[in-house]
């Protein structure tokens, strides 16, 4: 490829010189700040452009590190010279994507929810039916009642209670 002054360097190599605005983006400051640096002695080429390596070296030697806003390392290609607006827009897009993903996960799958509720209901039903066989011997021995009769009564009462609970409409359930 060839280089044209009208379109800049199209060879893909990093530019040796940049305009004031380009240099400002490269070091992470405003074009106005570059003007201030030029007034303070930042070297400028005869054509008004700034030699990148010499300019960055001058900034590193003459500007307080606490006042520098960005790295002085040159990106590997001119396309990597991204404006602050482009960086901000990319960050905002990333934030929007993360918010959408988080909100998407807040909604749960109806079928999976119903399977979980049914599984829990079966577990509780089985636990209550098993309780009858564990509690009946203790009740029978404590009261002196017949074990078979105690199991039969408890089983009938627990099953009736389970039917009553199953018949309750969901909107009548108490909120936690």
Residue pLDDT, tens place only, 34-72: 999 999 899 999 998 999 899 999 988 888 776 655 444
Handedness of CA 33, 38, 42, 47 (dihedral sign): positive
Domain ranges, ordered by start, for the chain: 17-81, 110-169
Q: Which residues of the chain have pLDDT under 70?
A: 1-14, 66-83, 102, 105-109, 172-176
Residue 106 has a pLDDT of 61
pTM, entire model: 0.37
Average pLDDT of the residues of the chain? 80
Residue 101 has a pLDDT of 73
Handedness of CA 21, 27, 28, 30 (dihedral sign): negative
Dihedral-angle region of residue 162 (phi above 0 means left; psi in -120 to 50 means alpha; beta otherwise): alpha
Residue 75 has a pLDDT of 47
């Amino acid at each position: 490829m060839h280089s044209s002054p009208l379109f800049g360097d199209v060879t893909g190599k990093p530019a040796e010189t940049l305009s004031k605005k380009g240099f400002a983006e490269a070091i992470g400051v405003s074009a106005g700040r570059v003007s201030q640096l030029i007034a303070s002695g930042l070297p400028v080429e005869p054509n008004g452009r700034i030699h990148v390596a010499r300019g960055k070296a001058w900034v590193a030697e003459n500007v307080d590190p606490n006042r520098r806003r960005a790295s002085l390392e040159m990106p590997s290609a001119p396309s990597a010279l991204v404006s602050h607006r482009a960086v901000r827009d990319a960050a905002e897009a990333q934030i929007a994507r993360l918010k959408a993903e988080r909100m998407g996960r807040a909604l749960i799958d109806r079928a999976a929810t119903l399977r979980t509720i049914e599984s829990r209901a079966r577990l509780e039903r089985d636990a209550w039916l098993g309780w009858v066989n564990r509690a009946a011997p203790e009740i029978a021995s404590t009261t002196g009642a017949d074990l078979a009769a105690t199991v039969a009564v408890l089983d009938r009462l627990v099953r009736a209670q389970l039917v009553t609970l199953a018949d309750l409409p969901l909107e009548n359930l108490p909120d936690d």
